[in-house]
Structures are given as C-alpha cells and as structure tokens.
Structure 1
Amino acid sequence: MQDTDANQVWDVVVVGAGPAGATAARYAALGGARVLLLDKATFPRYKTCGGGIIGQSRHRMNEHALATIEADVPEVGFSHRMGRVTRVRTGAPFVAMVDRERFDQANVDAAKEAGAEFRDGANVRSLADEDGHTRLTLSDGDELLARVVIGADGSGGRVGRHVGVRIERADLGLEVEVPRRPEDATTGVLLDWGPRPGTYAWVFPKEKTLTVGVIERKGYGEQTRSYLDAWIKRLDLHPTEQDRSSGHLTQWRASDSPLRRGTVVLAGETAGLLEPWTREGISFALRSGEWAGIAAAAHTNGDVAALDRYEAQVQAELVPEITVGEKLLRIFTRFPGAFHFLISKTPMGRSYFIRFCRGETTLVRAFRRRWVQVVAGWLQ
C-alpha cells in the first residue's frame, strides 16, 4: 500500500493506463493538476491489439510514443474469404505499426515526465460520491479522494459501470503473435473480409513479429476461433505455445450512453469510443484522452464549464464518426464482396482508403457527399 492517507485529495485520478488514460493523465498534469494514474496490471503489459497507427493517431502521439513505431507500411493486401490477395502499394507509407506493450509504456512514461504519479497493480474496487469529490477504494483497502476521475479502464471497466455506460455492441478479437520469418521481410498489411457477416482478419507486420488476428461479434467464440485457425493455416504460419495468444472485447457506445456522472468522466474504450466498421480505437483514445485531461485540469482550476465542454466536443467530433461507422458496418455486413471490390479494385476506393489511413480525410466527410448518402441509403 503506497498511500494510506484516505483524506488526501488528488486533483485528478485517472483509472486505466492505456492510450486514453495515459494521455489524459499527461494533459491534466501539463495543465497544472496533481494527477494520479492507476492501472490494475503491472507494467509493461501486453494487450490484444493489432497496433495499427493511422494518421489521426500519429498526429497526436508524443515523442516517447513516436519512438516505438516499428514499421511504416506502404502496402496493403486485401482478400475476401481468404481468396486471392489484391495488393495496393503507394510510394509513401500510409500506416504505422507499434507493439502495444512498448507503446503503452511510452505513453505512461510521457505522463510521468509531465508530472503525473503512476501506480500499477492498483485495482479500483468501488467509487462513491462524497461531498463534491469521488472516493475510490482499491482492492488492497487503500482509499483515495479525487476532485475529478477519468475512467479509461477498458471494456467492462469499473468506472464505466459507475457512470452507467451503455454499449451498442461488443466484438471479440482473437490474436496471436508469431516470430517474423526471413520470407516475411517484405510483408505488408493483409486484411481479409471474413466468411460471416461483419468479420475480418488481419496480419500486421512488426519489427520481429507478425500480429495475426480476427474479429467477430461477441457470442460466437467457437466459430471466431475457427476463423483464426483457418487464417493462420491460410498464411502457412505455425504458432507455438510460446507465442503470445490472447483475446479482448471491443465495444462502441449506444447513442444515448452517458459520458459523465458528476465529476467522473469517461474516455476511450471505456466510453465506447470506437469506429465500428474498422474497430479502430487508438485515435479515439488519444483524442478523447487529450480532451478529458485538459478539461479535468481546467475544472480543478475553477472552470465550472470545462467538463460540459468535454462532453460537447466528444459529441461534435467523435460521435459522428461512430454513427457513420455503424452505417458502413451494416452495409459491409450485407455486401462484403462489394466492399472488397470497391476498396481493392477501383482507383477511387483505393485512394480513399489510403487517404483515410493517412489522416487526410474521414468517413464523415465521405458521407457528406450526396451520391454516397443515396447509395448508402439504398444498400442499408
């Protein structure tokens, strides 16, 4: 137990030290707040994640995190139901790769450098409102008081349940990391649109490993596992018991889900901030974490509207991306072959995919075009 003074008041306590939480802690500390960052795991720790970094993420990464980039990839291969691969290559890389263990540790290091205190192996057992503050009780019996709490403790996290987050859908991602072989030296990203509605698989090349995974709606564990096994066989890979193998739930919020309860706010995956079609969440974590940290520091400095502005910013900038992603997922679920053809075979589709990955455009911008709205409405 590192702190036995239950009446000590922290300006900001951040629960969860993934990209959203560590970013929030960093920005809150930079804003002058006294910040404690907690995580129930012992760092460094591994997390199931492809580790793909698109432009929206890269633009917001601190120097420590940027130093963890292991590959800049100029090529992606697409297949449908593990069929023939169509490769799209550009002159300049459009997506980067990180190992989540190093990436998450780098973000924690940046938060500590900004002045936040970090405590790993600290599991929050309960939260309670107390005279305008929040009392957090840890599993070891330690108690903390906070003026603002930022919940970034992942899908199904304690803080999300305290706020009352409501989830539209949860998916199961399964993943294995295998050593990169000499013949994999030029491997780009591989994406397979899967055999069942809304599924897809990936290969993301790292410096020494290949991250191989699949994702499918929660509730179909056996067939999701079968898809991963078939994908590994299709790639002629041979994972061993020594290779990392893990699973993780990803989730996105219902449209009426709260982002806040009093001075407890949510960021990243805990808030269900995720793009539903690609299931990309790192850019949402970094953006919401930054805004939540800035708002929390401002609130502790007497800006009573700061947390309201955080909610408004998420609603204005991130929720529309989730809404469009849901529309795309519904269409993709019905017409995966058409999506495969559009993205891999047409110049317009290839160009848009690359520009999206580079952060030069967004899904929301595409849906503002009249013809896209007409086609999407007809297909849904």
Structure 2
Amino acid sequence: MARPPGAAAAHRRRVALRAQRRRARPALRLAARGIAVRLPARRLAVACRRGDAQPPDRRPARGRRRPRAGRRARAALRALGPRRVVHRADGRGWRAGRAARGARRRAGACRVTDVDVVVVGAGPGGSTAARAIAAGGASVLLLDRAKFPRDKPCGGGVTVRGAKILPFSIDPVVEDVVTAARMRVRERREVTRDAGGPLTYMTQRRRFDAFLVEKAQACGVEFRDGQTVTDVVRHADGTFAVRTKDGVHQSRVVIGADGANGVVGNRLGYEAPGESAVALEGNIAFPQGVPAEFRGKVTLNFGHLPGGYGWVFPKGDHINVGVGGWKSASGPILRPALQRLCLTYGLDFDAVTHLRGHHLPMQRRGMVMAAAGSAVVGDAAGLVDPLSGEGITAALLSGTAVAPAVRDYLDGRVATLAGYQATLEREYLPEFEASRALMEIFNVNPTPFVWMLQHLGPFWEGACRMIRGEVDYIDLTHVAGPVSYALLGPTAKVSRLITSRRVPRG
C-alpha cells in the first residue's frame, strides 16, 4: 500500500521533535534541582511548548556556537554525583526544596552540611562519643544497623573503672554487683578471694547500650536505629557522605564505632584490627533467682583453653556462661570446653540459650586511629584488653577521648583528629602494652599467674585496684615481673624480657 504524499517528511519531523525533547530532559532535571542550564532557542522552544521551561533572557552572540544542550546537561548531572535524598522529619516522603539545596551544595554553590558529626555504631564507644560531642554544641547523628534494644555477644560486665568514666550513674541497668572472684586451674582446688568492695557491675548489653543511647539523646543527639550504612565517601572539600538504605547524610566528621569489620574503617582506608581470640557464650535462665553460689562473684576457670579461660557471670534472672581463647588453637574446641565448664559447676549445658560465638579484635601495633575529619573508636580501633578480653572500658575511654579532638576540628583550630590518637598513645596504649606483656606471661603458663591471684596478697590487691581504676596495668606488671621470673622456671627469662622491654618504668 502506497504512503500518502508527505508522510515520510512528517515522520522525520516527529522523530526529530522527540529527539529534541529527549536532549532537553537532562537540563530540565537540573532546572528542577535548582541549577540553570541554557538551551539553544530552537530546542528550548520545544520544552516551552510543553510548559517545562522558560525561554532565556538573552541569546548567544551571533556566530558563536554553543555546545549541545543534552551533552552538557548530562555532564553536569554526572558532576553532581548521586541524587541526594533527604528524609522528612516524620520519616515519610521527601522535601524537594532540601533536595534542590543539596544539589546546589554539591555543585559548589553552598558548603553547609546536614550535621556536624555522624557516628556509625551505637555501642558504648559510639554513644559515648556522640553524647560527649553533642554536649559541646555540635549537631550529631547516631546510626546503628540494629533495631534497639538489641543484644550483643558479650559478658556484660562494666568494671568500676569503666563506670567512673561516665558522668552519670549506671545503677538503673545494674543487675548484680561483683565483690569477689572464684578461681581455679582446670579441676584443681578452687579459691575464692573477696575484694572488700565492688569490682564489676553486671548488666545486659541490650539494657546498657539502650541506656547510653538515651543519655546521648538527652544531650541533643539524633538517633536512628535500623540504619545499615552501605558506604562512606570523603569529598574533595573534606566533607563526608554517609549512605544508608534510606538516604545519604552529609557531615564534616565521621566517627566509626561499628566494630572490627565496620564500614567506616573499611571505606576510609583504616587498617582492620587483628582477630586473635574467639569466644563462645550463652545464658542459663533461673526464673526463681540465680543460685547463691554465683551471686555477687565472678567464677573463672583457667587452663582448658590456650590463652583463655571460662567464666560464669551472674545477672538478674540468669547467668552468662562462656569460654574464650586464641583463635588458632581454641576455635575447634570451644563447644566441648563450654560443655566441660558447665559440667564442672553442675550446670545443664542443654539449658544454655542464645548460644553464639564471636571474634575479639586486637589492635595491631602502629595502627592509625584518626585522620582528617574521621576516627575509629572501641572495637573498630581494636581497643580490647589483651589479658581479659574486656572491651567496654576501652570503648568508653576512646569515646570520651575523641570528643575534644572533634570539637577542635569543628572550630577550625586543627586540621585533623590526630589529637585523639595522641591522647590514646599517651594515656592508654602504654597500659595496653602492659596488658599484652602480662597476657604473654599468662600464655606461657597460666598456673603461676592464677596462683599469684589466689595466694599473693599484693598481686590480688593490685588487680582489684586496677579493676577499680586506682592503678593501671603498668603498676601491676611491675609487681608481677620479679615474681613471674621466680615462678616460671625456664621461661622466666623470656617473660621478664617481654615485660621490661615493652613496659617502661617510672
């Protein structure tokens, strides 16, 4: 069938018109986001007839060729990066005006950020850092991937020293107060030592972490749970974009408190802590109350796992039982070791619930923990006590220490957060090395170490004072050094060398 006259020409005009409209669309999207892109008059007329744009006030000079609008607009969109998403205050829908301002901001028209600081991870380190920073007047957004309250694999003990770091009491979430320790090596005679006062406050992480978040919110921190951070990007101007499944948050500072394998450290190039230890723990419920033999004391059993121990910690209506040791030697035998621990103390292993294993991060020597506008705290920095495996105290210490450095950075007094690392290297890492030295002595032979705790008064008293924060590991190491030399026999020279080289005196 023959085409009517002029059909081919009409078809070509329609195709050309559609092409012109397509080339105009990137520029129109820019215009909707608050950025003007001029179009040649012929192409703009197409958009104007559709009511999508307005004609320019002036035309280009005669004889001067302007680049194709579609190509230029697409290049401008690529330069802006991903579209910024901003939540409404009630969590529903979008604010087009805020989105347009965000586009102009990325294009260089404005350098104002959404918040001063984003803290990723609402554990003890993250919530403490967020609270301390917000108390200085900064705007802080605290994110966590879990819905609160949530539990964590942890013994749940907060030492007296750790509790002293906080400017408020943790009594509302304390379920038991430890004032004594039961200790034995394998199946040998058990010795109980009384501390004459509190050593550790027993709680549950689901309660403790939620309590710290509430304290942070009281200082003005905005908390959003259920927010999985998928990416962290540092822009050329030094600001950060923290991307979650629900949007992107812009900030001047990012604090990583999301654990040893966290997104912040990974994306910003921080070295991951080592994972030298593993643990397996669970709970045994006692609806009628925890038996008297476990209340008010920690039960420790040494010698079954290389470089580790088993424990029984009392809580309000249950006990926490667990074992931990070196990853290379203890991993395959954790479950049998936990069964043996339960048998030793007359506990039913089949009654253990919420059984879970986890890795303990360990800081590598020389790790960088701070940079320009970013830092890592707690487990993300590998700040776990090498000897005991306890990490809450170090998390609270690092969360508190990072706040002054962040305030100085936000006020423009410093160019990086290196002051935070300097504080840790001056006040905490020497003690960390002392704990590592004691750990290596303990690994050679735990029996003399436990014997000193059981029978050597000054050593036990020093350990209690250290847990309370009255002295530190360095003082304890100076007590242990000569005694360990006498007790460890052929290995004493190596142990003393480790202690004297790694822990400076005076």
Is TM more than 0.5 here?
Answer: yes
Distance 1:264 1:89 in 2: 44
Equivalent residues of 1:163, 1:259 under 8 A apart: no
Aligned partner of 1:47 in structure 2 is 152
C-alpha distance in structure 1 between counterparts of 2:339 and 2:86, whole Å: 44
Residue 435 (structure 2) aligned to one of 316, 320, 325 = 325
The answer (yes or no) to whether the contact 1:12–1:297 under 8 Å persists in 2 is no
Give 2:131's match in structure 1, choosing from 26, 42, 46: 26
1:296 and 2:406 aligned? yes
Higher relative contact order (CA 8 A, sep 6+): 1
Residues 186-205 of structure 1 mapped to structure 2, 5 A cutoff: 186-187=293-294, 188-205=297-314
Q: In structure 2, list runs of 5 or more residues that go unmatched.
A: 1-84, 88-93, 103-112, 486-491, 499-506
The answer to whether structure 1 residue 231 and structure 2 residue 341 are counterparts is yes
Structure 1 residue matching 2:189: 3-state secondary structure: coil
Distance (Å, rounded) in 2 between the aligned partners of 1:103 and 1:97: 10
* Counterpart in the other structure of 1:185: 292
SS across alignment from 1:184: coil
SS in 1 for 2:386: coil
Q: 2:461 maps to what in 1?
A: 351
Counterpart check, 1:274 vs 2:384: yes
Q: Are 2:205 and 1:110 equivalent residues in the alignment?
A: no
1:22-44 deviations in whole A, cap 9, x for unaligned?
Answer: 00000011011100000011110
Are the structure 2 counterparts of residues 371 and 156 from structure 1 closer, same or farther at C-alpha, using a change threshold of 3 Å? closer
Name the CA distance, whole Å, in 2 between partners of 1:374 and 1:210: 33
Report the Cα distance in structure 2 between the residues aligned to 1:153 and 1:145, rounded to whole angstroms.
18
Find the counterpart in structure 2 of residue 83 from structure 1. 188
Q: Where does residue 91 of structure 2 map in the other structure?
A: none
Q: Which moved more, 1:345-354 or 1:121-130?
A: 345-354
Show the counterpart of 1:209: 318
Counterpart amino acid of 2:325?
E
Show the counterpart of 2:327: 218
CA contact (8 A) 2:283 2:355 kept: yes
How far apart, in 1, do the equivalents of 2:300 and 2:191 lie?
10
Matched, 1:175 2:281: yes
The range that moved more, 183-192 or 285-294, is: 183-192
Give aligned-pair identity as a percent.
Answer: 32
Helix, strand or coil at the partner of 1:59:
helix
What residue identity is the alignment partner of 1:154?
A: G
Q: What is the distance in 1 between the residues matched to 2:481 and 2:310?
A: 30
Aligned partners of 2:413, 2:363: CA distance in 1, in Å? Answer: 28
1:301 & 1:132 partners in 2: Cα distance? Answer: 14
**Post-superposition offset of 1:98:** 1.4
CA-to-aligned-CA distance 1:110-164 (integer Å, 9 cap, x gap):
00010000011111111111121111111x1511111010100012111122332
Which position in structure 1 is the counterpart of 2:259? 154
Q: Which structure dedicates a bigger proportion of its chain to strand?
A: 1
The question of whether the paired residues in 1 share the 8 Å contact of 2:290 and 2:317 is answered with no
Bigger Rg, structure 1 or 2:
2
- Between 1:31-40 and 1:353-362, the stretch displaced more is 353-362
SS in 1 for 2:335: helix
The amino acid that maps onto 1:309 is G
> Counting helix residues as a fraction of each chain, which structure ranks higher?
2
2:174 to 69, 72, 76: 69
Q: Does 1:341 align with 2:451?
A: yes
The count of aligned residue pairs is 379
Residue aligned with 1:275, SS = coil
> Following the alignment from structure 1 to structure 2, what is the Cα–Cα distance between the partners of residues 158 and 293?
21
Deviations 1:295-339, CA, capped at 9 Å, x for gaps:
223321222167221110011112112211111111111111111
In structure 1, runs of 5+ residues without a counterpart are none
Contact 1:12/1:146, CA 8 A, preserved across alignment:
yes
Q: Name the structure 2 match of 1:135.
A: 241
- Relative to 1, partners in 2 of residues 1:182 and 1:69: Cα closer, same or farther, differing over 3 Å? closer
* 1:52 Cα offset (Å): 1.6
Identify which range, 73-82 or 99-108, moves more after superposition: 73-82
> C-alpha distance in 1, partners of 2:477/2:331?
33
Equivalent-residue separation in structure 2 for 1:371 and 1:50 (angstroms): 29
Cα distance change on mapping 1:182 and 1:80 into 2, 3 Å: same
Mapped partners of 1:370, 1:50: distance in 2: 26
- 1-side partners of 2:165 and 2:171: how far apart? 9
Bigger CA drift: 107-116 or 68-77? Answer: 68-77
Partner SS, residue 67 of structure 1: helix
The separation in 2 between residues aligned to 1:212 and 1:142, in whole angstroms, is 40
Which one is further off, 257-266 or 366-375?
A: 366-375
Instruction: Summarize deviations over 1:146-185 as a string: whole Å, max 9, x none.
Output: 1010100012111122332242443112111112365713
AA aligned to 2:470 is E
Greater shift, 57-66 or 122-131, is seen at 57-66
